[in-house]
Amino acid sequence: MAQMHEELLETKYEGNVFTRLLTYVKPHIGTMVLALILLLMVTGINLIKPILIGNAIDEYIEGYDKPIQRENGWDRLLYFEEDYYLVSNLDEAQLKLLEQWEKDGCPGVEDVSSLSSAIGGKKIMFSLGEKLFFADRQSREELAALRASDRSGIIQIALLYAGLLVAGFFLQLGQTWLLQKTGQKIIFTIREEVFAHIHSLPLRFFDTNPVGRIVTRVSNDVESLNQMYTQVLVRLISNTVLIIGYAVVMVSISPKLALLSFLFLPVVFAITYTFRILIRRIYRVIRTKISALNTFLSENISGMKLIQLFAREEKKAQEFKERTNDLYKSQMKEMATFGIFRPGLAFIANFAYALIIYRSGVSVLEGALSLGTLYIFTNYIRSFFEPIQELAEQFSTLQNAMASAEKIFTILDEKNTILEAEEPVRMPQFKGKIEFKNVWFAYENEDWVLRDVSFVIQPGERVAFVGATGAGKSSILNLIGRYYDIQKGQILIDDVDIRELSLPDLRRAIGQVQQDVFIFTGDIKSNIRLLSEEIGDEQLREAAAAANADHFIDQLPRGYDEAVTERGSTLSAGERQLLSFARTLAFDPTILVLDEATANIDTETEQLIQEALETLMRGRTSILVAHRLSTIQHADEILVMHKGRIRERGSHQELLAMNGIYKKLYELQA
């Protein structure tokens, strides 16, 4: 049931995710264009390399039948019975006859090696038309001399190929570095934007969104965008260019073979399209379940003490197992989708490759295609399907990023309902007068927490609110700082409606001490000044001394530099409370709000707390909420809340004399 609730809270983003993601690229468009140019150069190198090898095969390696021009005619190598023979002094007509004679299977050849026995050679004799020709067998050394130019050509191509490899390496290095650097900058910007936006949201947002989900957005979801910016976007363009380049070259080499290869493309595109739809749905589910799992972990780690107190370890372990098993099943669906898609594309690519090998091989045997061209074409056909498969997998990465981006943009589009006026009233210094005029307030719809509440607190007065749980006491404190907005009535500070005041000015003037004190990871100093540069060390120590916090701080091994862990687990409840008093005093607020500030304090520490309270409240408008009536007896006025209304008001003695709600509460505690 809880998990269903968590998934219902995951709203679907309605905007164009991809377009919005591209807006983060605009500030880095120059770098991205440069990276794209480098990548296109690498792509061009990848297209050229097979052509170089094919040309080397045709022009030099298989170039035995290439005529050699001399001053008095043409020489030509003839391959016969696994030996090479040199035919010399041919004119162009005789060259053509010789080529035809070879195609006819070299008829009428006679071995005349005896004629050259004196020099240890070997000759063959054959006729071309009306002329008789003799051909000399070539030794390894003679062949090497004849093909010196071919060797030089191979060396040149090898050097060029090596040069392209080196150039490709440095281009790839530069492109990768630029993309990674730009991608990290973009991710940094998004993470900062998300974190800053979360800070600007009202408390109502945090009432309905678990901490684990918010942490997932800032960490996991933002990080999943990294690969998209550093690889996918540019690789999508690169692979598209590669596919087009391979297609153009294949058509130019052999249109028939190219069209035969392209017959498989509709099947590939159909599989890719289906895969893209399926994987996007699966990624959405996975991102939601990861968020739910992180929420579960956050809650249970925070509440570990309670779990162990009630011996619920096994139950919680079982619940975790169910949740992680649910995530496991979703991830297995992802693996199954990839497991069908990847081998399916590989099968189509290999089938096309085998078919092209057969057809192009036949063309080579028929003399319609050279061996080098066969190499180029088969290399291209294998490479042709690789970027298609990579494109599909990049689409899957893109879908994962889209799913994460939807979650991120949903938070970024969360509206802050606590808005400042277009021209807010600036008040650097407040006097501290607080007035509620016929205030009605509800957290949800018309489930009223406060009903027609009115009161005035003069500057420097101490006013306490008492009443049963749910009477609306803490809601009044939240409304004074405008953490929520009221539905009816007015709240004024120094006779100005708080909706017209500057929020930073308003909240800077209010110091709040709560029952549950939050201590940040860091040290004592950082928890008092909260990173404020305006609070110096001397002011910090004075605040701690005035709040009686120096009693325990001076006893710590490192004093104000003593490290504290999250939530201040190394400090007692009283020490944490004294630290919160010092924190509030350091910021010197005009209005002091104390929400059950002494509820969890031991008797030994209570005297220090009371002294600290006197110091805190001196000269400040103070509002107290307390269940312990002994702590608020000396307030200037006590307001008794009951079911969202003020039912009684007066001093301690006056309220006792009324013999009403306050007296009953007092007698119950007595």
Same domain, 135 and 168: no
Specify if 457 maps to a domain.
yes
Specify if 424 maps to a domain.
no
Check pLDDT > 60 for residue 583.
yes
**Among 572, 442, 421, 570, residue whose Cα is nearest residue 506:** 421
- What's the CA angle centered on 192, arms 187 and 197, to 5 degrees? 130
Mean pLDDT across 39-53 = 87
Check pLDDT > 80 for residue 515.
no
Specify if 417 maps to a domain.
no
Chain centroid offset of residue 88 CA:
72
Check pLDDT > 60 for residue 470.
yes
Alpha-carbon distances of 525 from 520, 532, 560, 561, rounded to whole Å: 11, 11, 5, 6
Same domain, 487 and 613: yes
Which of 115, 146, 177 represents a domain boundary (last residue)?
146
Mean pLDDT across 272-276 = 80
Same domain, 40 and 121: no
Same domain, 32 and 123: no
Q: What was the pLDDT predicted at 223?
A: 82
Residue 477 vs residue 268, higher pLDDT: 477
Specify if 428 maps to a domain.
no
Mean pLDDT across 578-595 = 87
Same domain, 195 and 329: yes
DSSP assigned state of 559: G
Mean pLDDT across 123-138 = 78
Same domain, 499 and 600: yes
Which of 94, 114, 146 represents a domain boundary (last residue)?
146
Specify if 420 maps to a domain.
no
Q: What was the pLDDT predicted at 9?
A: 42
Check pLDDT > 60 for residue 460.
yes
Same domain, 184 and 80: no
Total tally of structural domains belonging to the chain: 3
Residue 113: pLDDT band (50, 70, 90) is: low
Instruction: Give CA–CA dist 511/534, Å, rounded.
Output: 16
Q: 471-488 pLDDT, tens per residue?
A: 888 889 889 989 899 999
Residue 627: pLDDT band (50, 70, 90) is: confident
Instruction: Give CA–CA dist 507/626, Å, rounded.
Output: 22
Q: 516-542 pLDDT, tens per residue?
A: 788 888 888 888 888 787 888 888 888
Residue 647: pLDDT band (50, 70, 90) is: very high
Instruction: Give CA–CA dist 88/74, Å, rounded.
Output: 6
Mean pLDDT across 78-84 = 76
Does residue 489 sit in helix, strand or coil?
Answer: strand
Same domain, 134 and 167: no
Mean pLDDT across 132-144 = 79
Can you state the angle between helices 371-412 and 29-55, rounded to 10 degrees? 160
Same domain, 142 and 167: no
Mean pLDDT of the residues in the chain? 82
Q: Are 76 and 87 in contact (CB under 8 A)?
A: yes
Check pLDDT > 50 for residue 424.
yes
Same domain, 587 and 647: yes
Q: What was the pLDDT predicted at 600?
A: 58
**b/e code 196-212 from CB counts within 10 Å (16+ = b):** eebeebbebbeeebbeb
Specify if 236 maps to a domain.
yes
Same domain, 622 and 636: yes
Check pLDDT > 80 for residue 157.
yes
- Domain span at 316: 2-58+151-412
CATH of the domain at 230: 1.20.1560.10
Same domain, 121 and 213: no
Specify if 459 maps to a domain.
yes
Which of 112, 146, 180 represents a domain boundary (last residue)?
146
Q: What was the pLDDT predicted at 621?
A: 92
Residue 217 vs residue 325, higher pLDDT: 325
Residue 15 vs residue 612, higher pLDDT: 612
* Helix intervals (H) in 2-146: 2-9, 17-23, 29-55, 92-103, 140-146
Check pLDDT > 70 for residue 121.
no
- What's the CA angle centered on 288, arms 284 and 289, to 5 degrees? 115
DSSP assigned state of 428: S
Specify if 615 maps to a domain.
yes
Sequence-distant (6+) residues with CB within 8 A of 148 are: none
Q: What was the pLDDT predicted at 602?
A: 62
Check pLDDT > 90 for residue 147.
no
* Helix intervals (H) in 366-461: 371-412
